[in-house]
Amino acid sequence: MPHNQDATLRRLIDITQSLSSEQDKWRLLERILAESLALTHADGGTLYLLQNDSEGQWLEYGILHNRSLGLVQINRSGGDSALMPIPVYDLHTGAANHQNIATHCALTRRTINISDAYEASQFDISGIRAFDELFDYRTRSMLTLPLQNHAGQVIGVMQLVNAMAPDTTGVVPFTDPALSIVQALASLASIILENSLMLEFQRDLLIRLSSARDTSELFERILDEALAITRAEGGSLYLVRDGKAPRLEFVLLKNQALKLNLGGRHGQPVDMAPLQLEKNGEANLGNIATYTALSRETVNIQNAYHDIRFDFSGMKAFDTDHRYRSRSFLSVPLINHAGSVLGVLQLVNARDPDGQITAFDERQEPIVQALASYAAIALENQQLREDHARLLAEANRSDHAPKGD
């Protein structure tokens, strides 16, 4: 590999720029794997994708390259590879599979650098031996890296084998400079995978939401999806009610930690007082939800007890009554096509992958905003249908009214 760090940096910049013009996920990932092989002089490499199904969690072969064997395999559709996926957890006992190098990497989220696989006694290399016997090959040095999304969750693994000495045909261990380069490329692969998974998620989300039978069911699904996406403990959905006293009325309130489920198809009736949008003839900007509705802005608060912008006395009273501790908030307006605010979607207490309360990730805001927009459009359509039905009813009454002489 090049020892000149400036040359290496320029190479990485060139790779990043060239990748920016490519839209196909598999071509992007294949290019990254190929560049990893070239920059480290590795003879082969595999990119695994983490998959979940009803039976468990697996590392599935996505892309397999081996130069000396002339092997190139891309498993675009999943399940088409001749190589069996590797279970991350034992299918019978549920125990974590730390015996396999790739799954150990996924479970620990640590890079593993092995000089000779056959001497790595802590791992079960029967699969490696079977591959070597089948292709008359000898696997020696291995470099295995986790591919992690922005939340630190593993979404794949990249594994390189048999670093070759530049001036000979001999296999050598992967060096520290090689490790830093591959880690940079692994980060690019993670971004590509995460973006692809997000697009797939959004497509599947629209399919799930479109199956809702009515607006109230759709609202509940939207809140549930927002809770799942952000791993929030709780959330509320408010709708704007006009009149002499414009206000935000609670439609739904859920909190998993408190086992609260108010409103919706199966919840208890909502008994929460509405939030007034005006106080003493002026806009009520002191409450986070009313501020969201009036300003049309998304509000992301890391710790409500340390925030001085809003009046959280109602939240503190709720916490005292329920022996709870509200911390992080994400409040998003429901804006329709005409730009009118129809309500507010508010989430509380985001959790990290380990279940600890954390701030809401700003990168998740666009998805929650999209869900809020979907709710606003659904509400707008419902109101149009109701207006149309009312006009038809009035026209029908007019047609059947007694005619004067």
Per-position DSSP letters for 124-189, written without gaps between them: --HHHHHHHHHHT-----EEEEEEE-TTS-EEEEEEEEEEE-TTSS-EEPPPHHHHHHHHHHHHHH
The whole-chain average pLDDT of the chain stands at: 83
Kind plus residue range of the DSSP H or E element containing 348: strand 341-348
What is the topology classification, in CATH, of domain 212-393? Answer: Beta-Lactamase (3.30.450)
Residue 395 has a pLDDT of: 66
Task: In whole angstroms, give the CA distance from residue 99 to residue 81.
Answer: 22
* Every domain range in the chain assigned CATH 3.30.450.40: 5-200, 212-393
Percent residues over pLDDT 90 in the chain: 42
Residue 200 has a pLDDT of: 59
Task: In whole angstroms, give the CA distance from residue 213 to residue 209.
Answer: 9
pLDDT at 280 over 70: yes
For 199-208, 298-307, 355-364, which range has the lowest pLDDT when averaged over its residues?
Answer: 199-208
Task: In whole angstroms, give the CA distance from residue 68 to residue 267.
Answer: 62
pLDDT at 380 over 60: yes
Residue 2 has a pLDDT of: 45
pLDDT digits (tens, 9 = 90+) for 144-161: 999 887 657 788 899 999
List, as one string, the DSSP characters of 172-212. EPPPHHHHHHHHHHHHHHHHHHHHHHHHHHHHHHHHHHHT-
The pTM assigned to this predicted structure is 0.54
Do the beta carbons of residue 89 and residue 57 sit within 8 Å?
Answer: yes
Phi, psi of 164 (to 5 degrees): -105, 135
Q: What is the DSSP letter of 231?
A: T
Task: In whole angstroms, give the CA distance from residue 127 to residue 46.
Answer: 14
Residue 402 has a pLDDT of: 67
CA of residue 333 relative to chain centroid, distance: 21
pLDDT at 211 over 50: yes
pLDDT digits (tens, 9 = 90+) for 54-96: 677 889 998 899 999 999 888 877 655 567 889 998 888 888 9
249 confidence band (pLDDT: 50, 70, 90): very high
What is the topology classification, in CATH, of domain 5-200? Answer: Beta-Lactamase (3.30.450)
Task: In whole angstroms, give the CA distance from residue 47 to residue 39.
Answer: 16
| Other CB atoms within 10 Å distance of the CB of residue 391 | 10
Give the residue-averaged pLDDT of 190-219: 62
